[in-house]
Homo-oligomer: A and B are copies of this chain.
Amino acid sequence: MKISVAILGATGYTGAELIRLIDAHPHFEIAHLGAHSQASKLAGEVLPGVGGHIAAMTLQPADALLPDEVELVFTALPHGAAAASVFTALEAGKKVVDLSADFRHKTHDVYRAAYGADHPHPELFNEAVYGLTEHVRDQVACARLVANPGCYPTSVLLPLIPLLKAGVIDTTSSIIIDSKSGTSGAGRSAKTDLLYCEINESVKAYGLPRHRHAWEMEEWALGFAGCETKVRFVPHILPMNRGMLSTLHLSGSNTASWFDLLQQAYAGEPFVKILPQGTLPSTAGISGSNRCDIGIALLSESEAVIVSCIDNLLKGAAGQAIQNANLMFGFDETTGLARHALWP
């Protein structure tokens, strides 16, 4: 007997990825697809990649009642909009993995600073578990609400946490992070600056002076490693659909030990791969998989570059969400998730 699942915000890129993963999952099955402007259409009309019986499912309006049998809800809605749906689902006794930013922060002040608005349900902040799976398995396993991490923070925190914990990173000045993301991270709304001809054959920085994910990185560097840090975070958008690469320009001490620290921290992890020292990953190596590939290059005893790659729609969104949901329902964490990239 499979567990019935609802996906709210099913017609965006993250929603489509959730459909792909859940429909192939041995223990979950899709019972409800919520959409907004596209409600009442068939899934197959709006999502070109969807086949089989899912294509014939009718998209439900945002405020539709969730079927009773649904036990798990994935909310892939814009921040601000997600909170109300999360609240309603929890009230109805369902578990929730929220892929928006609404429950990633622990205080109302930081949420307001990052998102510029009041939060409708700050009373849930305490309960929400920030689901960077590798570092919070036990809490995820018994959570009712998991706040799925942002894509940039996932790519940055995974390499950073073990080094911060070991005290080898200099945190007296800002940690400089230069990230590059495929365009699917910008969502599926019809904006001129996301048109094919505007993105193709071009690269640009955006989100300055301070991207919202900078707060998330700082909050969870503290949360997981106990370190007050400041990040200088500059994201860029690239002409590719998927993939995210973060370049961490790091200073600290005893860089010769960093590779071992990372190796030990992630030994046996199914979805974190530390490349041989001096080898740096490409996003092609993880596209379509739930993996985070991490490479390190030493510049001196006190300077190193770390490069980490994830698929922004998988380990950066829908993949990590399934990884968390697996734990929430007692399944093996890797169930239904690919370790190999779809390459090329």
Interface on A for B, CB 8 Å cutoff?
Answer: 13, 16, 19-20, 23-24, 47-52, 54-55, 173-174, 176, 178, 180, 182-184, 188-192, 194-206, 208-210, 232, 234, 236, 238-243, 245, 247, 249, 251, 270, 273, 278, 280-289, 291, 297-299, 303, 305, 307, 338-344
Contact B205 A232 (CB under 8 A): no
**CB-defined contacts of A342 to chain B, threshold 8 Å:** 20, 49, 288, 342
**CB-defined contacts of A20 to chain B, threshold 8 Å:** 338, 340-343
**Given A192-B188, A249-B234, A273-B51, also A243-B202 (CB < 8 A):** yes
Contact B203 A283 (CB under 8 A): yes
Tallying the copies of this chain within the complex gives 4
22 A-B contacts, Cβ less than 8 Å apart?
Answer: A49-B288, A49-B342, A49-B343, A51-B289, A174-B303, A178-B249, A183-B197, A188-B192, A195-B195, A198-B284, A200-B344, A201-B242, A201-B287, A201-B344, A202-B243, A204-B281, A205-B297, A206-B280, A208-B297, A232-B249, A241-B344, A288-B342
Contact A236 B283 (CB under 8 A): no
**Given A49-B341, A191-B190, also A199-B196 (CB < 8 A):** yes
